[in-house]
Structure 1
Amino acid sequence: MVPLKTLDIIFRRRYVQNTQHYFANRKHAVLDDKRVKKTSRPFHVPRSEKLLSYIKYSDRKEKLLSRNRWLQPLHLKDNLRIAATRDISERLFIEEPPDDVRAVVEIHPEFYTVIEGRPLRCFDDIKVYINNIRSYAMNRQQIGYRRDLILKIEQNVVTESNEHDKILVGLKQHIKNFQRFLTEDYKRSCVRVSKAEKLYAELVAKNSEFLGYVTQLTILNNILFKLDAIRGILKIYRSYLIFVAPLSWRQLYDEKLKHKVQSIQFETGEFVTDNDLVETLDIDRMIEVAKQELQNPFPPYMYFNRPQQMLYLFRTMELQSREYLIQLSKTGAPHRLLQDRIKHLKKATIQELDYFQFYIDSIKNEIARENYNKDHLQEFILGNPGFNFRWE
């Protein structure tokens, strides 16, 4: 049998071979009878929290924690360091049990040391002493854990305070830098805004000047168009005056009839289309045409020198037009009747021609039938020489 140690018995250390609990009178506390089966006790919560540290750090508890840790999803798994930190944070909120160990005061610990031949009082039990020692050790262990945790927390607080001070200093520096940046940016923005305002004022001035030039150019263009329209009207009026002049005078002075024979052939004109009107709106072309016409102007020959001559001409034309209208009003109704009669006669003639054509076609059909019968009889008679005609 392996000799036993006092601490192995007190702290119930596992994995020790042949561990036995016995008293000074050599009576074993645990019977070494394997045939006796231990009755299973139901699960119960320990009465005191003094064994909490022992339960937490037992092998079974660690096994359950590791198994639960491995059963978690991948994003919830943690390593041993995180688990230890979590356990420490959980122990932080455990109330410290009162230090009520009285065994050291009432009973001297050396009295319960396992020594051969030491007497044992009947009213004292080694289990009571062992439980007292265990609870005392557990309490001291918890106190040590808490002190370590407090030291660690204080150290973390100091570290975090230093980091916080550094971050605060950096933040203040960043705030100063940002304020300086905002100030400089505001100054640059003000300079650029002032430059933009100056440029805008210059642009407005240039725009107003440009609008003035455009207005003057538009006025000049309108004047040019007006002059060109007047020139066109004058050309039309001149061509009209030349056209209404006598032919003998036109053959002498009209540039269109100078080199023509006595039998004058009048030229056909062309209507002005929209495209021609659009082309005449081109100022450059209009000026070019005007230059060409003014370089070789028409000779200033006019048959009508006084307005009374034109008035007499217009009066004559008016009278001619009136006589023509009067004659037209007189002959209008007979002309319409004549046109209606001609239309009816044409229609009746077409109908009569259709009738005659029908009769002609029917007579042609009769003649063709008679010719066919004649040919048939002739072939029949010539094919039968002994045939006798019988006339009645």
Structure 2
Amino acid sequence: MERKKQKNLDRKSYIKLPPIESGEANISNVRTILDIDPDFYSLVEGRPIKSNKSLRKYKENIRNIGLKRALYGFLMDEILCKDREIEIERRRYEEASKQFVECQYSFDKFLAYDNNKTIAIMKKSDNLSKELANKIEENKKAKYELATLKAKLQYIDETLQILVSFQSFLYNGAPVLWRENEILNKPIKYSGIFTMDANIIGKIDVDFVKKQLGTLPRPILYFETPDQLVIAFNKLEKQNLNYLLATEELNIEKQKFQKSIHEIKATIYWNEEKETEIKELFYKILEEKFRYLVSSETSLQIFNYVEFAFEQIIAPNETNLSPLEMTLCLEKEYDNLMLDLSVYNLEDVKSIEKEIYMKGISDLKEARKANKLLKDVDKLNRRLKSAYTPSKRIVFQ
């Protein structure tokens, strides 16, 4: 069996070689199996003999050969592409070199043409820059001189302001009579001969300065020497001392007066407290005593009884007499009646008094009956009114 398998493998692995034609050129172009795989095959007496009998190894070798050749072809394609790109880049480089040479030639030509003109412009620019530097130096000097002049003018202005303030002080220190006579030479408010702006190089208004100086009045002073001013101040000092002494005396009198005022205020406060206490006590008495005597139920009943008795016995109270006056009148009338009754017999008086009491009792009973009848009449009247009044119910037809 193994021999049969080996024979079959030998048959399958056998590759028929192409015929060899005559001629040297054809012999050199003939490709044998050794050219395909010289390591795997060898020629022995014109027959291909496999040195390795493994078909699997043979297939792997064939596949590797195919892969290597494919890789070789891919690399060759890449090499050809790179060669083509190198050729294109070389052509572009040659064209760019030609253009660069042309541009360089044109620039050299332009530079040669414009060189003289550029040199003339640069010389002119240098001259202008020198002139500008000279003008700047002159301007700086002029600004410095103007700033110095303004500083001096400001110093003069401040000095003049100080002198005007001194003049005003001396004018106010002069006597009143002299100031009234010299009212035309009264010093005015000085606002300065010019205003100092932030721009120190600004223009100075000469006309305005002259106008401000022209408005200043003629300096007339009461004090001619400094000694006069010292004497005036000494007098003022003495006068001030006298005023201080007088002020101290006035302060002492003022303190005494204030002390008396405080005492009077304390007395007034004490009297006010006493007044409040007395008021509270008075209102308390008025609330507790007088109110009961004047507006209590008993006092009102007594007043009604007195007034009724006065009107029944003496006369109607048309003059609005007080209860005391009516009581005094009743007392006098009672005394008169008692004097009149003293003439009559005592038993007759008692019998008459008894009859009067009985009559009063009967009158009281009749009054009660009349009151009861009046109430019954009122009830009957109300019932009649309720009977004759129409009903307030809604009648549905």
TM-score scaled by structure 2?
0.41
Q: Which has the larger radius of gyration?
A: 2
Higher RCO, Cα 8 Å, sep 6+: 1
- Structure with more of its chain in helix, by fraction: 2
